[in-house]
Amino acid sequence: MKKDSSAPQNKGQEIESFVEKHLQAQGLTLVTRNFNCKLGEIDLIFTHQEVLIFTEVRYRKKAQFGSSIESVTLPKQKKIIRTAQFYLQKNSWARRYNCRFDVVGVNPVKSDQAEPNLNTLNIDWIKDAFWAS
């Protein structure tokens, strides 16, 4: 039987939708999801008051290779920053906002769970997780 190669992508989209709804419940307004350009991708972009929030969503099924938050390394941060700068160049309306970079880590409540579902996930939302220099 052939494995479905889109399964991890579907799980990623499911997790991003889960995080999107969670952050909207916290008062954030979605601007766009999965902004792509030649420099990279930003999972979710929100506004909240006068702030434009570039959000990286990370999911780890198991923590044996580190937490989902730890997977946002310095090179990944730099890639997100460059992508955000490109977004701001292409969207002049967005330049009136202050910007921040958030990271949302999603992890199963129990590390021994075979296949976590949305009811058994922890969300760790780090506001201002890193800065552009």
**Which residues, 6+ apart, have CB-to-CB distance to 102 below 8 Å?**
53, 54, 55, 56, 125, 126, 127, 128, 129
Between the two ends of the chain, the Cα-to-Cα distance in Å is 49
**pTM of the predicted model, to two decimals?**
0.86
User: How confident is the model over 47-92, as pLDDT tens digits?
Assistant: 999 999 999 999 987 666 678 888 899 999 999 999 999 999 999 9
Q: Please give the residue that has the higher pLDDT: either 4 or 129.
A: 129
Fold of 26-130: Trna Endonuclease; Chain: A, domain 1 (3.40.1350)
Domain boundaries, the chain: 26-130
CA-based R_g, the chain, Å: 15
Q: Please give the residue that has the higher pLDDT: either 67 or 102.
A: 102
